[in-house]
Structure 1
């Protein structure tokens, strides 16, 4: 069994890890919210020192010019795709920013090569705040799951699913899978966001994150039988309790917005997530860069996945809210500095 040191990548929230041909590819929200970068290594421990290649930058103006959030890298067919959210406006006193979901495509062998083209916006029937698109091909059908605001439903975002006709176009009407309804999903904000697929045996799981992005942030779970109609809300069961939460004992706060990958020997499912190791934040938490990417092992039992608790940090983390240089390499592997 491999023992993992945490964090695996500093100052990258909404972490996404894709294992492809034995290599780990990593992307996540840059704290400047201006670029999309990809790095890769043959171990998770090697990702911090790996060079980050910027493959796309925000536009100077227009709907893709602000708040570049939560990129995900996917391999679909013979091409690479990046799903991300971008906005044109800032937060208003009452309004959410104008985030919509967008897709990049590359047919290069190497996704870190600067050969990406914009495939445009993913159009949904309701033109509203939308983000955190994730996708999975299950039994030959590509599905998209994302978070979106319905003006008729109180709260910031609900989770929706649809089939796809191609990697940037919906092929079925969206169906709502989950909305904030339990107390733990409605702390500070009513939010369901950051979905991620996890397949195991005859089950399809979707994790998601809920509540405000500080200490209350936590992970929930949806479960369906493989082979069922995944676009039917009745196929899904929702856990009434969160499955991954803050661990004050381990100094880990607000874990969430995760992805899944496999261990180096492909025997274990791994959960990649972000969390902070402190609670006091001056100003808007959105601009505190120290949500670091971390890893945990998923255990399986007769009831499904057991995500355990966020493990304590064993590597150095920044002591201030300063954004680190993108190379960041010399910081990896140094001793832990406790706050």
Structure 2
């Protein structure tokens, strides 16, 4: 949707299923926070930070905050899907809902890059689909009364008899609507724009906006795609993805409207290089196919995009598996030009958008933690030792107290985990922030190396990240054997870094 707030207009976004907390008897129960001010004075503050990615196994993201929830849409392929949650921190665990199951025909297959926009009280969902042949990709639009639907088919958009993907709608400050999209042609994948008479009708011939004529747009293949507008203080920008999605150099460039005629390519000035690109030091690559959304209170602009990482920081790209949804805050320079910043690593903490109510709190209690790569193992203190610096490892579940951990919320978004048999804390040895630092038990003294973030992933699983360096609790080498050591390592979405918390008793 195009929404004007404090001089900011952003193309906004998406959809569905209300966030549901884990409720099984064995799973941790989030503490639900009453809204009354009196209760807020007594109950601890909800966690107000998150770490990327905010949704795994999802690409081509589009997000909007509306009707009390963030709605995140992403490519699924055979249907249109999305999730909803009141906090960004809840999107990773939110159950997926289907927004549109396509009928047989010209738009049956390969449904990509969904976006939702609100115009005149209605929600419009734009997507690309084909009949099973990629060359036949065309643009379509659905209509609903709410961001999560239910949706009904509205129209096929007339982008000409050409390959058409990644459609978006740009609403200018004067109210005019334009459709933006990408089309594969003989000279590469180009960007196009056309006027719209209403949200479902293109009313004039398309005009070419940009071609991949720069070296930084030609890594892997010649590509410019995924155009999305951002309008700030009357200035119009179109950010787009450049280079092949399978390249780690998949990145964002920008076109700035410096002339008067939106439909004239000469009226747009292209950036001299990517304005948002891979962060090798942060193990983030292939950063592209983005959208923009506003914070719940309307005061901030944020970017949502997908990126790729690897288990050892080796640069990678992907057009399929491994892509995950990430976010970052948009700032503005002295001239008012948007600054997208640098993609955040998985170990960097991000303060939630302003007005975000915060993550659910995991209830205090005694838990056992099992790694997803071998649920038969549990996190334990080796040999049930009570000694300081005793090693922490995984071992076959046996019901022992050294395989149980007392989890307590610290009130600042982090938790302490104390071994039930010794009362000593899960601790990063020597308070090291380094990769592969050892994990031990040590008397609790309140250090950051003894405090952990618990980020929900869904189905009772969490990533457990050290406050000292943001690195994840990790079964070393992703081993499945009993006795495998536990260390900290950058989070790369590995099953050996995902822990199921199950309450004991």
User: TM-score under structure 1 normalisation?
Assistant: 0.84
Deviation larger for 37-46 or 174-183: 37-46
Q: 2:180 maps to what in 1?
A: 145
Q: 2:236 maps to what in 1?
A: 204
C-alpha contact 1:99 1:130 (8 A) present in aligned 2: yes
**C-alpha separation between the residues in 2 aligned to 1:147 and 1:190?**
12
Q: Is 1:23 aligned to 2:73, yes or no?
A: no
- Shift of the 331–158 alpha-carbon distance from structure 1 to 2, 3 Å rule, reads farther
**C-alpha separation between the residues in 2 aligned to 1:312 and 1:245?**
13
Cα deviation, residue 132, structure 1:
0.4
User: Can you list the C-alpha shifts for 1:138-181, whole angstroms capped at 9, x where unaligned?
Assistant: 2211111110133xx411x2111111012221112211111100
- Shift of the 287–257 alpha-carbon distance from structure 1 to 2, 3 Å rule, reads closer
Q: 1:287 maps to what in 2?
A: 320
The residue correspondences of 1:175-214 to structure 2 (distance < 5 A) are 175-213=207-245, 214=247
C-alpha contact 1:133 1:144 (8 A) present in aligned 2: yes
User: TM-score under structure 2 normalisation?
Assistant: 0.58
C-alpha contact 2:248 2:315 (8 A) present in aligned 1: no
Q: 2:121 aligns with which of 67, 78, 83?
A: 78
**CA-based RMSD:** 2.4
Q: 2:80 maps to what in 1?
A: 36
C-alpha contact 2:285 2:315 (8 A) present in aligned 1: no
Q: 1:171 maps to what in 2?
A: 203
User: 3-state DSSP class of the match of 2:280?
Assistant: coil
**Larger Rg over CA atoms:** 2
Cα deviation, residue 112, structure 1:
2.2
The residue correspondences of 1:260-275 to structure 2 (distance < 5 A) are 260-275=292-307
- Shift of the 329–15 alpha-carbon distance from structure 1 to 2, 3 Å rule, reads farther
Structure 2: unaligned runs, 5 residues or longer = 1-47, 349-371, 374-456, 466-471, 475-490, 493-505
C-alpha contact 1:4 1:295 (8 A) present in aligned 2: no
Cα deviation, residue 333, structure 1:
5.4
Matched pairs, number:
310
Q: 2:358 maps to what in 1?
A: none
Q: 2:255 maps to what in 1?
A: 222
**C-alpha separation between the residues in 2 aligned to 1:69 and 1:145?**
15
- Shift of the 223–42 alpha-carbon distance from structure 1 to 2, 3 Å rule, reads same
User: 3-state DSSP class of the match of 1:70?
Assistant: strand
Q: Is 1:248 aligned to 2:280, yes or no?
A: yes
- Shift of the 298–3 alpha-carbon distance from structure 1 to 2, 3 Å rule, reads farther
